[in-house]
């Protein structure tokens, strides 16, 4: 299936993104206004402009919506705070349904605050992240599991965004992960794709999409040796995808392994969000009916577009087709 055929069927895709749905705050600061505080003597970071966008799983959802998916919804936990309200507004602006989000007073909304020099356009100060280190409260966990089981028949693509790197603090708890895996094991249900930074080896019956270091670490934890093919068999999904940055992505399936390259015309400006956009394009293509290899080539092209933009950019159908044409995959 070509990229144009996949995009033509995008409106048939009903996608649910479950997991860490975060807020990205892009704050432009003026270094000329960084005089020391009168009280403490510590130089201030004078933010002049702030833009909020959905981050982490929200980046996946944003790319699905931008590619023309017929329906995109997110399921996760957010805090009863201002950042949670900003996140809902950002999701609404991107035409992403957010009614399944579970609000909890026991956590703060997972927020990435990125400080960008307004003179250079470069993010050159340490990021300020609002993270959760305590386990997800049982009420929120149970509500997410119940929502997943209740709404699953409404979707033909489920993408798991397990991005939290703390031992406790992510949305994708063991109970939520097991609920996803139980659902994925039922034949004829939705396409299931999972992106996990620290718990790759615990998924079952889904396609996981770690990068090379994440996949290697998962193998070491599970087997004590790096063996990607063994990892695929252990997880039991139809394929394992291991992303390889500017080289493309490895596909491991019953036909063996092969490296699918990034089109030469793709020019990397900012790799932020590349994995999220690849997961979005890959899942959309699978749900649209593409075979695994064609779907992964589509996902790589989507990521090739987004890395050409500053921040967590989104790929439009026209941009995808233009890049695909350079690789002979557009029509």
Domain that includes residue 249, residue range: 3-22+53-111+132-326
**Is 102 contained in some domain?**
yes
* Residue 329: per-residue pLDDT: 65
**Is 38 contained in some domain?**
no
Those residues whose C-beta lies under 8 Å from the C-beta of residue 233, and which sit 6 or more positions away, are: none
pLDDT of 141-179, one tens digit each? 999 999 999 999 999 999 999 998 877 779 999 999 999
**Is 80 contained in some domain?**
yes
| DSSP-assigned states of every residue in 70-137 | SEEEEE-EEESSHHHHHHHHHHHHTT-B-TTPEEETTS---EEEEEEETTT--B-S--EEE---SPPP
**Is 147 contained in some domain?**
yes
**Is 125 contained in some domain?**
no
**Residues above pLDDT 90, as percent of the chain:** 85
Q: pTM higher than 0.85, yes or no?
A: yes
CA separation for the pair 1, 288 (Å, rounded): 10
* Residue 297: per-residue pLDDT: 96
Mean pLDDT of 54-74: 97
pLDDT of 232-290, one tens digit each? 999 999 999 999 988 999 999 999 999 999 998 888 777 777 899 999 999 999 999 99
Count CB-CB contacts under 10 A for residue 137. 15
Chain centroid, CA 207 distance in Å: 14
Mean pLDDT score across all residues of the chain = 93
141: phi then psi, degrees, rounded to nearest 5: -60, -45
pLDDT of 169-195, one tens digit each? 799 999 999 999 999 988 677 999 999
SS3 157: strand
Of 123-127, 188-192, 221-225, 321-325, the range with the lowest mean pLDDT is 188-192
- Token pair belonging to 60: 């996946």
Confidence of residue 330 (pLDDT cuts 50, 70, 90): low
Angle between helices 138-151 and 174-184 (to 10 degrees): 10
**Is 277 contained in some domain?**
yes
51 and 26 Cβ atoms separated by less than 8 Å: yes
| DSSP-assigned states of every residue in 182-246 | HHHTSTTS-EEEEEESS-GGG--SSEE--BHHHHHHHHHHHHSS--HHHHHHHH-SS-EEEE-GG
Instruction: State yes or no: pLDDT of 57 exceeds 90.
Output: yes
The count of domains in the chain is 1
Task: Give exposure, 279-312, as e/b (b: 16+ Cβ within 10 Å).
Answer: bbbbbbbbbbebebebbbbbbbbbbbbbbbbebb
| CATH code at position 136 | 3.40.1190.20
Angle between helices 228-235 and 212-223 (to 10 degrees): 70
pLDDT of 102-126, one tens digit each? 999 999 999 999 999 999 999 999 9
Q: What value, to the nearest 5°, has the Cα angle with vertex 245 and ends 243 and 247?
A: 95
53 and 109 Cβ atoms separated by less than 8 Å: no
Instruction: State yes or no: pLDDT of 331 exceeds 70.
Output: no
CA separation for the pair 219, 230 (Å, rounded): 8
**Is 28 contained in some domain?**
no
**Is 271 contained in some domain?**
yes
17 and 60 Cβ atoms separated by less than 8 Å: yes
């Amino acid at each position: 299936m070509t990229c144009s055929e996949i995009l033509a069927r995008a409106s048939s895709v009903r996608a649910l993104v479950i997991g860490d749905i975060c807020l990205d705050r892009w704050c432009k600061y003026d270094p000329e206004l960084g005089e020391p505080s009168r009280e403490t003597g510590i130089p201030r970071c004078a933010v002049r402009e702030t833009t909020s966008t959905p981050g982490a799983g929200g980046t996946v959802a944003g790319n699905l919506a931008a590619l023309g998916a017929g329906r995109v919804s997110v399921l996760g936990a957010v805090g009863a705070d201002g950042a949670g309200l900003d996140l809902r507004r950002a999701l609404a602006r991107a035409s992403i349904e957010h009614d399944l989000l579970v609000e909890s007073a026991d956590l703060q909304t997972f927020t990435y605050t990125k400080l960008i020099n307004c003179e250079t356009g470069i993010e050159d100060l340490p990021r300020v992240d609002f993270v959760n280190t305590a386990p997800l409260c049982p009420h929120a966990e149970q509500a997410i599991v119940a929502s997943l089981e209740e709404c699953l028949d409404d979707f033909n693509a489920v993408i798991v965004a397990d991005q939290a790197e703390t031992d406790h603090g992510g949305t994708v708890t063991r109970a939520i992960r097991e609920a996803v895996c139980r659902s994925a094991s039922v034949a004829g249900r939705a396409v299931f794709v999972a992106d996990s930074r620290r718990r790759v080896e615990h998924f079952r019956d889904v396609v996981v999409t770690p990068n090379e270091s994440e996949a290697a670490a998962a193998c070491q934890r599970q087997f004590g040796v790096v063996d990607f093919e063994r990892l695929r068999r252990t997880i039991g999904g139809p394929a394992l995808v291991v992303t390889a940055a500017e080289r493309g992505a490895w596909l491991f399936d019953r036909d063996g392994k092969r490296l699918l390259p990034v089109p030469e015309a793709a020019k990397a400006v900012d790799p932020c969000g590349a994995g999220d956009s690849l997961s979005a394009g890959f899942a959309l293509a699978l749900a649209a009916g593409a075979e695994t290899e064609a779907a992964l080539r589509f996902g790589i092209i989507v990521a090739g577009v987004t890395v050409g933009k500053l921040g967590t950019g989104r790929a439009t159908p026209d941009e995808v087709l233009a890049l695909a044409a350079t690789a002979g995959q557009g029509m």
